Amino acid sequence: MTTAPQASFFAGIARRGLLFIMSSPSGAGKTTLSRKLLAADKLISMSVSVTTRKPRPGEVDGKDYYFISNDAFETMVADGDLLEWANVFGNLYGTPRKPVETALAAGRDVLFDIDWQGTQQLAQAMKDDLVRLFILPPAPDVLRERLIKRAQDSSAVIAKRMAEAAHEISHWPEYDYVVVNDDLEKAHQQVFAILTAERLKRRRQLGLAEFVRNLTKEL
């Protein structure tokens, strides 16, 4: 017979964290859904990228980005310290490997707001830890309205933005899950359910074998 009181036996199962990727065309509500997910759950946090671009007013180093030099960035690439990186109009952006691996090993999850290219790179680096979610807008009108909402934009800028959105959307078949953001609260519940379910996958619950061993020791 066990002498420890029953209530203390189950204290959760140790698990490996996961990388939760949300991609979408701009205007599908991804940023709002990311914020709601971060607010709803303490075990997931946003990945902070390194970048060589200059900080914009109000941006905080270590929170919005880690602002680093071109030399430092290139050293990280050479040392394999970035899980993925990209050159966007001459500025370099990348995801540092170490904080992600530390989080996963500690059973914490990391949220990524990246496009299909970053997703493909991450998939190569971290295959089994990845959960890929694509967010779609509910209707063409919604998408178009959001893409043209800044009235001062030229039609050339708008056309370019639409082409980018169409291209981003064309990569939806590379994702594990798809949520249509028709109703913000419903979409949030769906995103939260995906995170909850993925944490309950047997293979992520590293402490299960030991838990079952102790559970059945005296049967």
Dihedral sign for Cα 210, 215, 216, 218, please: positive
Please give the backbone phi and psi of residue 107, each rounded to the nearest 5 degrees, phi first: 80, 20
103 near a copy of itself (CB under 8 A):
no
CA Rg value for the chain:
21
Question: Using CB under 8 A, which of 38, 40, 193, 206 touches a copy of itself?
Answer: 193
Phi first, then psi, for residue 54 (nearest 5°) are -75, 145
130 HSE (CA, 13 A, CB side): 24
- 214 lines the binding site for a copy of itself (CB under 8 A): yes
Which of the stretches 34-42, 100-108, 114-122, 135-143 binds a copy of itself when contact is defined by CB under 8 A? Answer: 135-143
Beta strands 91-96; 177-180: pairing state: unpaired
Per-position x/- string for 172-191, each x denoting binding to a copy of itself as judged by CB under 8 A, each - no binding: xx-xxxxxx-x------xx-
149 contacts a copy of itself (rule: CB under 8 A): no
- Residue 42 in tokens: 């303490």
Kind and range of the H or E run holding 177 = strand 177-180
When binding is defined by CB under 8 A, the residue of 38, 105, 139, 184 that contacts a copy of itself is 139
Q: CB of 37: closest distance to a copy of itself in angstroms?
A: 13
Amino acid at 166: A
The residue within the footprint of a copy of itself, chosen from 157, 184, 197, 206 (CB under 8 A), is 197
Residues engaged in binding a copy of itself (CB under 8 A): 2, 6-7, 9-10, 13, 134, 136-144, 162-163, 165-166, 169-170, 172-173, 175-180, 182, 189-190, 192-194, 196-198, 200-202, 205, 208, 211-212, 214-219
